[in-house]
Amino acid sequence: MKDKIKIILTVLCVMILQVLVIYLSHTYIANNNIYIKITFVVLVNWMIMGLSIFYLFRTHFNSNTSFKELYAKYKINTILYNLLKELTSVEETKKIYEMILKAAIKAIPQSKFGSIIMSHNGKMRFDASYGFKHEYLELIELEVEELALYRATNGKMDRPIIVHDISEENTHRIAQEKIELFEKSGTGLIRSSIAAPIVINDVVVGSINLDSKQTHVFKEEDIEILDLFALEVSKFVYLHQILEQNRNMSRYDELTKIFNRGYSIKQVKALMEEKKQFILVSADLNNLKVINDLYGHDVGDILIISFVNNMKLFLPDDAIFSRYGGDEFVIVFPNSSRTEVAVIMDDVSKFCSNYEIKECKIPINVSFSYGIVEYPTESGNYDEVLKIADERMYRHKRNYKKNIKKMQ
């Protein structure tokens, strides 16, 4: 509103001055040559228009704004634009953080180091860093109260801060073992810092920090720049969380947190395309329907989860463990022999038979049947491999039921 009023007043002043110039030229310039008068009026009007444009330009950009500052803003916008363009093709969170840190340091060149600290179950951890030995930083867990950002804002963490001289910071609350890890990481070179909160849905989830080897190098305008990068971290963390949730829903079984049928089949078919041999096991819990009918589905769910947790204790890291639905499970062993898999399944079966589920009010043991098949020795078709494994699993289940009847 103020700018509009200034423009209107400037235009009025220009009009008045132009009328005054014409009047003065007619009254005081005695020469009757009309061309001299016109030339005089045009030149003076140009001067008035030039001064008016200059005044409006200065008013619009604020008289304190210099071309150097305008160029700096252009440079920062270019850095942010290039960053956003590069981040669209990156999925890994740590890589995203590292790219944001490098861009922030480029935008604030007096900084030589940087880190992003995020909250993990109430503990603050260094998820990414630049210029430090990260293998030491990632071992450190901080309480939120130990952050300079927390102390400088009286616990609010609602604004960016500048620490002009690190030596004036009070670090006596930090445990000695953490201080030693900080020293090994190279933070002893830091003399000043700037930090901004990372906020998602009005909750502070971390901070982005830039550091320098010199004291008193950061300025107030650096706070605005770092705040922009903190905002970018917030947006990408939020977006990543949504994508991660969607990815988990498409890959993992909600109850057991192991792979679901669809994602498991994709992985197995990828192994087949690579022409890799593997052992497939079809497993099915015994008497789950009876337990659901007698004690309810909550107890049945506990039984399923217990089976999955026990099975994980014995599986190699490269095993593909998935729930196909209900009480049906499939386990694929890409780098194990048939003999090794048979031993693993026998060990799991014995362990489960002796394992009593403590969460249930009544003593229940986990029992399951399984069938083993080798790909591609017994079949080169996935559906056929699964069919053979199921047939052997049901044969195992029938034998289990016969043994139970004999014991009764």
CATH code assigned at 377 = 3.30.70.270
Cα 14 to Cα 233: distance, rounded to the nearest angstrom: 50
Is the domain of 76 the same as that of 222?
yes
Is the domain of 314 the same as that of 394?
yes
pLDDT of amino acid 277: 95
pLDDT of amino acid 63: 45
Output the tens digit of pLDDT for each of the chain's 408 residues: 555 565 566 656 656 665 665 555 555 555 555 655 556 555 656 565 656 665 555 555 554 455 567 677 778 888 888 888 887 788 788 888 899 899 999 999 999 999 999 999 889 999 999 999 999 999 999 999 989 899 899 999 999 999 999 887 765 567 888 889 999 999 988 999 999 999 988 899 999 999 999 999 999 889 888 888 888 888 877 887 787 788 888 899 999 999 999 999 999 999 999 999 999 999 999 988 888 888 888 888 989 999 999 999 999 999 999 999 899 999 999 999 999 999 999 999 999 888 777 666 667 778 899 999 999 999 999 999 999 999 999 999 998 887 766 665
Instruction: Say if residues 396 and 285 touch (Cβ distance below 8 Å).
Output: no
pLDDT of amino acid 369: 94
Structural domain includes residue 92: yes
Is the domain of 84 the same as that of 232?
yes
**For 289-319, how does the pLDDT look when each residue is reduced to its tens digit (9 = 90+)?**
888 888 888 888 989 999 999 999 999 999 9
Tell me whether the omega of the peptide bond preceding residue 376 falls within 30 degrees of 0, making it cis.
Answer: yes
CA 251 to chain centre: 19
Is the domain of 77 the same as that of 133?
yes
Instruction: Say if residues 19 and 75 touch (Cβ distance below 8 Å).
Output: no
Instruction: Say if residues 209 and 197 touch (Cβ distance below 8 Å).
Output: no
What percent helix, strand, coil does the chain show, rounded to 5? 55, 20, 25
Which residue, of 247, 272, 292, is where some domain finishes?
247
What are the angstrom distances between the C-alpha of 259 and each of 12, 115, 184, 206, 212? 75, 34, 40, 31, 46
Running DSSP on this structure, what letter comes out for residue 330? Answer: E
Residue 40: domain span: 2-60
Q: How many domains does the chain have?
A: 3
Q: How many CA atoms lie within 13 A of 70 on its CB side?
A: 9
Is the domain of 242 the same as that of 282?
no
CATH code assigned at 205 = 3.30.450.40
Which residue, of 212, 247, 282, is where some domain finishes?
247
Structural domain includes residue 253: no
Q: At what angle do helices 220-251 and 67-87 cross, to 10 degrees?
A: 10
Is the domain of 42 the same as that of 90?
no
pTM greater than 0.75 (yes/no): no
Which residue, of 247, 273, 292, is where some domain finishes?
247
Is the domain of 225 the same as that of 83?
yes
**For 312-352, how does the pLDDT look when each residue is reduced to its tens digit (9 = 90+)?**
999 999 999 999 989 999 999 999 999 999 999 999 999 98
**Whose structure tokens read 């047939």?**
391
Report the relative pairing of strands 259-260 and 320-325 from DSSP bridges: parallel
Is the domain of 79 the same as that of 162?
yes
Q: Which 3 state secondary structure label does DSSP give 335?
A: coil
Q: In what order do the strands lie in the sheet with 192-200?
A: 141-142, 123-130, 113-120, 203-212, 192-200, 161-163
What does 215-243 look like in DSSP terms, one character per residue?
Answer: SS---HHHHHHHHHHHHHHHHHHHHHHHH
Is the domain of 222 the same as that of 79?
yes
Q: Which two tokens stand for residue 186?
A: 């190279």
**For 102-133, how does the pLDDT look when each residue is reduced to its tens digit (9 = 90+)?**
999 999 999 999 999 999 988 999 999 999 99
